Structures are given as structure tokens and as C-alpha cells.
Amino acid sequence: MSARRSITTKIDAIMYTAVRLGFFAVWPVLVAAALGATLFAATHAASLPAMSDNRLQVPERLVALGFFAGSLLAVVLAYLLALRFGDRQRWPSRLDRAGRLHPYLSWILSAPFVVALTEPRIEVQHQWRTWLYISLAVLAWWPTFHAFSARRLRATSRRDVLTERQREVLSIAAVFLLWAGYAYFFARLSIINHHAFVTRTIDLGIYDNIFFQSSQGRPLDCTFIRGGNHASAHFDPILVLLSLLYRLWPRAEFLLILQAVWCGAGVVAAYLLGRDRLGTCASGLILAVAYALHPALHGANMYEFHSLTLLFSPLLFALYFFLSGKLRLYYAMLALLLLIREDVALLMCFVGFYGVISGSTEYKRAGWATIVACLTYFVLVKTVFMTSLDIFNQGPESYGFSYYYAEMIPNKWGFGDFLITLLTNPAYIVALVTKEAKLHYLLVIFLPTLMLAAWAEKKRFMLLYGLIFTLLASKPPVFSWHFQYSAVLLPVAIALAPEGLLRLRKARPRDPSFTAAVMGCVLVASLLVSWKHGGIVENAAFRGGFSKVTRSLSPEKEAAYQSFTELISKIEPDASVSSSARVGPHVSNRAEVYQVEQDIETDYVLIDTRDLRSGVKERIKRLEEAKKIELVERSRTWALYRATPPPPVE
């Protein structure tokens, strides 16, 4: 019996070891397959289309198999080395020792998905597949980041503590370099677009004229718009303050530079949020990079100029001060936020509501103060400064926005109809907010930070205004990352990412490397999402508003722009001008400038023939037939006309 029992025990041990070896071998084979496929793709770029359709020819398949075999050999050698230097004990323990190599090689599994993302136009032709590849690539990095983070914590020494101040100084320097790099890149790109005639009167020309008029003592005036003042659409007195700087260089290019520098400043707030809330400079740097790489920030920055785009950085600073308990600085930033646009007051009410329900006496007082101040300001602006009392700005002398939410307002009752739909038809609301385009939008907004904001407990209430604003809209630009409307949502998502991570960390108190591993994955996710949807690297998905981005000016386009500047130099600075859409923002820095469609007689008429729709054509033809204008010069696609002097009175 004892001999049989001994044999059975040995057989069980052998089978147990064999099973463990089988499971152990799966991981090296997967790593080898990923490594081999990646190396094959890197050395056979012409075969990538065939790989995506699995149509490789037999010779190519054999070469790919050779890459797999070579990779498998390299991986096996790595594991044999781990076994060789393992503890001199029995097999299972040494196998465990070798198994510690698994997470350090896990990142290699992301490589095939990164290669797959290089498929041309995959981000627009196969959107869901793109999100799947990005998600799988990020997941593959998790074990690697976790292993390295744990190893670094075990290796912490006295020397690391002594250099903490140095690391903080270097981190702050890196943040300011990131800000400078962002500002330079997007200012330059915006100006290239402007000189390539991608910008239009709506909206760059409008805002340039607002700045000009405000700098001349006419606050928020604009001759392009109804009523001659921007209060017919929005109340944004911050533009009046910034117009003092505009006097240094009164051109539309100044607005583009200002917008890039202003938006880039948010990296400082993101860094402070990550550093202070998560406790490390590295976390702050990664959150700052995630902000700078975000496609929604790029889209807003590249779409002309808008006062709402100025919300990104100040809102992020305000949330940092609020969440850090620096309430005096928060109140100062709140005052600045209210100057950006009248409806920012509604957004900040939701920040105030969180303060009220937070459970903290100090935050409760701050919450009520925020709500009272914001509602008082909103009512004051609507009743005193703007031309409409309606929340959607409806009125005969105003630019209304209720059509943005046409599906929510079927009976044309305005905001009341909106509320009725919201409160009485929940199934329709779910159908409206889960449209495919809106789901893609949510992924762009939240995936770079791994949707950490969703775990921020009561603080999630601050997201509600942005979600209502974007997801209940019917107008596609409102729920697109190519426009300025993401400014009401993205800063809150960035600010709440550390809060969500803090809550998740509480659920894993015995895992000190958890935070570093998650932030490493945030970095990978931000890089991949920005690559396929952002504005830094050219891709098929990114646009600045409605238009593709022009990334460089060819010699021909540079010569064309030079020819155009010579043409408009013939217009006297104090002359009045009617202009078509493409050329409007190039002559908008004057007291009297109009769109041709406004049908106002001016000293000059400047048109781009590419803008000659029926209304513009008829207007020019009518003026020529009446001999009210005469051609000054025609250059390429542009034509400059001058008003003819009236005949002498006899």
C-alpha cells in the first residue's frame, strides 16, 4: 500500500508540475506572438494592408512565422535566465520565480494593437475597433506599470527622500516647458490656418472686431452682428479686459496666440491637481500631459476664437482651489469665470450644489455662496446687459440657441418645453444621449483619464451641467470634440480624475503601487487617444471646427497670402469695408466692417470668389450695374472694389 501510495503521489506531483508548466507556457507564447507580429510589421510596412485583412501570401506567412520562432526563442531564453538565477529549490518554487518575469513583458502585448492603429483612416472608418485597440493596449501596460512601481517602492532609499525638492523643481520646470511647447505649437498652427484662409468671419472676424471696438472704448461692440453689440448673443466682459493687450498688436493673429497661451496655462492647474491630490510630482506631470494632449482641448483651440474656449484653464484652476480647500483663491477665480460668459454662472451652480451636499460645513457655506452669487449675476446680466431674458436667449433682437436642443423642444415652448421633456420622457432621454456619435464623444472626453471621474462619488455632480449641455443637444457641434463646447465638461473631467483614483485607492489599501500603475496607464491612454483623435499628430479624425487643419503653407500658398496682404494694404485704415466670409477676419480690425450679406454701402467691397453664393453674387452684380462700385484690383481668387463717388450735383 505504501509503495502504491508513493507512486500515486509522484504521479500527482508530475501531473501538477506539467499542468503548471502548461499554464506557465501560455504567457511566453503570447508575448512571442505579439513581439514577432510587431517586428514583422515594422520590417514589412508594405504588408500592413494585407495583415489587416489577413491576406498575406504564403511566402510572407512563412517570413512572419520565422519572426514568431525567433521571438519565441528570445523569450524562452529570457525565462531560462530567470530560472537559472532563481532560488536553488524544487521546480515549482523556481517556476514561481521565473513567473515574476510575466508582468515585465506584459507591455509587449500592446504592440500589435498599436501597429493595428496605424491602418489608414481606421479612426473614422472603424471607430469602435479603434477604441477596442486603444483599450487593449492600455490594459497590456497595466501589469508592467504595476510591477515597476512595486519594485521602485521596494528600492526607495534615503537618497530618494533627500532629492524630493530637486524632483519638484524639475517637475515644475517641465510643466512650464510643456506650457510653452503647447502654446507655441498651437499658436503657430492656428496662424498657418488663418493665413491659409481656413478661418471665417464667423467666428474669428466677429471676435477680432469685438476686440478692436472694445480697445477703442466701445465695449463688446461689433459691426458684424445684429444690434451692433455682442450682448445680443453673449455677455463676455473678459474680452473688454483683454482688449487692452490687443492694442499691442491689433490683428486677428493676436487672438490666436492669446487663445493658445491661455488654454496652455491649464497644464499648471492639472499638475497642481495631480501633485497635491495624489501626493507625487510624477502624478501631477502625467495629469498635465493628459490635459495638454487632449483632443477636445485641441479642437476648441483650433476652431477660430471663442470666449467659451477661454473657460478651460480658469475653470481647472477654480476646481483645484475648491477641491484643495483654498476657498479665497477659489472665490477670486469664480469672479474671473463669471466674466467669461453669462452661462458659466449656470455651470458654477453645479459646483456650488456639490459643496452644499458634500457634508462639510466649510464647503456647504462655499456652495451656498457660489449658488447665490452665480444666480444673482446671471439674472443681473440677463435683465440689464443682454437683449433677451430667456435662458436660450430667444428674442427679436437676439441670437437664440433653442435650436441647439430642437429634439428636446418639439412644441417650440423654449426652456419650459425642454424641462417638460426632461422630466416626463426618461426613455427618450436615454435614447437621445446614447446616440453613437455621443458615445464616441464621451470616449474622447473620458478615456484619456480612464474614466476615473466616474468614481469621484458626490463630486460627480459637478459633471452634470456639462453632460446635460452636450448630450441633450441636437446640434452636432455641441457634442463634438472639434468645437468649443467641450470647455464645460473637459476641465471637470480632468479635475475629478485624481478624486476618482483616490476613492479606488481606498479599496486597495495594501497596494501602494496602485496609484503609480494607474497613472502610467493614463499616460498611455492619453498618448494613444491623442494620436488617433488629437491635433498634434495628423490623423483622419481631427478637425478644427468644421474644417481640416492646414499644417503647413506651401511656397505657392505663402505667395498667395503675400499677394493678398498687398491687396488689402490698398484699403485705408479708417475706410469702411464689406467683406465675404473667407476674407472677413483679415480686415476686421477696423471701426466699420460688415458682411456683404448685410447689404450696407461701404467705401470698399472685398470678396473671395470662392464665397460667391447666390446672395453675394447678386449683391455684387447689382452694385456693379448701378455703377456704385468699381474694380480696384483682382488678384487670384480675390477682388477689391471701391465705391464710386456720387455724380456732382448741378
Residue 79, CB half-sphere, CA atoms under 13 Å: how many? 23
- Do 296 and 219 fall within a single domain? yes
- Has residue 95 got a pLDDT over 80? no
Q: 605 lies in a domain?
A: yes
Angle between helices 266-278 and 312-323 (to 10 degrees): 20
- Do 604 and 526 fall within a single domain? no
One-letter amino acid at 70 equals: G
**Binning pLDDT at 50, 70 and 90, where does residue 8 land?**
low
Sheet bearing 593-595, strands edge to edge: 593-595, 577-579, 604-608, 638-643, 629-635
* pTM (predicted TM-score): 0.93
- Do 314 and 445 fall within a single domain? yes
Exposure string of 348-373, with b = 16+ CB inside 10 Å and e = fewer, is bbbbbbbbbebeeeebeebbebbbeb
Exposure string of 98-109, with b = 16+ CB inside 10 Å and e = fewer, is bbebbbebbbbb
Give the model confidence (pLDDT) of 327-367 as tens digits. Answer: 999 999 999 999 999 999 999 999 999 999 998 999 999 99
- Has residue 268 got a pLDDT over 60? yes
Q: Into how many domains does the chain fold?
A: 3
One-letter amino acid at 405 equals: Y
Per-residue model confidence (pLDDT) at position 98? 64
Mean pLDDT, rounded, for 296-305? 97
- Do 353 and 434 fall within a single domain? yes
Q: Which of 472, 498, 533 is the last residue of a domain?
A: 533
- Do 245 and 356 fall within a single domain? yes
> In whole angstroms, what is the distance from residue 178 CA to residue 45 CA?
33
C-alpha distances in Å from residue 429, one per residue of 433, 439, 447, 460: 6, 14, 23, 19
Give the model confidence (pLDDT) of 245-257 as tens digits. Answer: 999 999 999 999 9
User: What angle (nearest 5°) sits at the alpha carbon of residue 169, between those of residues 301 and 143?
Assistant: 75
- Do 503 and 606 fall within a single domain? no
- Do 457 and 577 fall within a single domain? no
The more confident residue out of 149 and 196 is 196
Nearest to 135 by CA among 441, 357, 446: 446
- Has residue 158 got a pLDDT over 50? no
Q: 124 lies in a domain?
A: no
Mean pLDDT lowest for which of 119-133, 215-229, 546-560, 622-636? Answer: 622-636
CB 641 within 8 A of CB 632: yes
Q: How many CB atoms lie within 10 A of CB 245?
A: 12
- Do 501 and 605 fall within a single domain? no
Mean pLDDT, rounded, for 516-534? 97
- Do 461 and 600 fall within a single domain? no
> In whole angstroms, what is the distance from residue 138 CA to residue 146 CA?
13
Give the model confidence (pLDDT) of 389-410 as tens digits. Answer: 999 998 888 999 999 999 999 8
Q: 127 lies in a domain?
A: no
- Has residue 290 got a pLDDT over 60? yes
Q: Which of 49, 80, 110 is the last residue of a domain?
A: 110
- Do 384 and 519 fall within a single domain? yes
- Do 353 and 279 fall within a single domain? yes
Q: 550 lies in a domain?
A: no
The domain in which residue 580 lies consists of 555-643
Per-residue model confidence (pLDDT) at position 649? 62
- Has residue 434 got a pLDDT over 60? yes
User: What angle (nearest 5°) sits at the alpha carbon of residue 468, between those of residues 492 and 347?
Assistant: 50
- Has residue 312 got a pLDDT over 50? yes
- Do 418 and 513 fall within a single domain? yes
